[in-house]
């Protein structure tokens, strides 16, 4: 479970000041452990939480290596917590994202690397994003 001291450390490392709102948003991610859209987060936050503030917090978290974008095939932008190797300068994500067709949650599978992509001559590689669909561990075990 995410505690305030963990959150403080994460924000400190990212060079961001600890505010109640930042801490609240971060806590949602550390508790849920799945990729979340802005709408998902709004559902969990107190109703008075300002949507523009949330939007700004998500962008600043992304910019400072706390969150990374997870592309969903439905076109919704989601975010997930970064590993320790991410920083303001660089995100390092060579992992697969998994979408469960039963619970529709998207998770980072940090231990599953995206295989090397060989491109034809003349093409320059920048980044590969991979979304794998199936049934997650939770759902397959509760069947």
**Residue ranges binding Zn ion (CB under 5 A):** 68, 80, 82, 86, 91, 100, 102-103, 108, 136, 139
- CB 96, CB 113: distance < 8 Å: yes
Task: Decide whether 49 or 71 has the Cβ nearer to Zn ion.
Answer: 71
Report the alpha-carbon distance of residue 115 to residue 24 in Å, rounded: 36
* Full DSSP string of 5-36: HHHHHHHHHTT----HHHHHHHHHHHHH-SBE
Do strands 131-134 and 95-100 pair parallel, antiparallel, or not at all (unpaired)?
parallel
For the bound state, the minimum distance from the C-beta of residue 55 to Zn ion, rounded and expressed in Å, comes to 19
Task: Decide whether 15 or 51 has the Cβ nearer to Zn ion.
Answer: 15
Per the structure block, which two tokens stand in for 97? 């994202």
Task: Decide whether 49 or 76 has the Cβ nearer to Zn ion.
Answer: 76
- CB 46, CB 118: distance < 8 Å: no
Task: Decide whether 54 or 108 has the Cβ nearer to Zn ion.
Answer: 108
For the bound state, the minimum distance from the C-beta of residue 87 to Zn ion, rounded and expressed in Å, comes to 8
Report the alpha-carbon distance of residue 30 to residue 85 in Å, rounded: 17
For the bound state, the minimum distance from the C-beta of residue 103 to Zn ion, rounded and expressed in Å, comes to 3
For the bound state, the minimum distance from the C-beta of residue 121 to Zn ion, rounded and expressed in Å, comes to 31
For the bound state, the minimum distance from the C-beta of residue 75 to Zn ion, rounded and expressed in Å, comes to 18
Query: Residues for the chain: how many in total?
Result: 143
Task: Decide whether 51 or 59 has the Cβ nearer to Zn ion.
Answer: 59
């Amino acid at each position: 479970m995410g505690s305030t001291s963990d959150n403080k450390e994460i924000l400190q490392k990212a060079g961001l000041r600890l505010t109640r709102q930042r801490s609240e948003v971060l806590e949602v991610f550390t508790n849920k452990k799945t990729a979340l859209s802005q709408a998902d987060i709004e559902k969990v936050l107190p109703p008075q939480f300002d949507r523009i503030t949330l939007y700004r917090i998500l962008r600043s978290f992304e910019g400072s290596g706390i969150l990374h974008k997870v592309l969903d095939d439905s076109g919704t932008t989601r975010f997930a917590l970064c590993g320790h190797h991410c920083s303001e300068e660089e995100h390092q994500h060579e992992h697969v994202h998994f979408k469960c067709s039963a619970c529709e949650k998207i998770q980072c599978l940090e231990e599953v690397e995206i295989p090397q992509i060989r491109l034809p001559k003349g093409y320059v590689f920048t980044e590969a994003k991979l979304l794998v669909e199936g049934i997650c561990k939770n759902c397959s075990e509760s069947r």
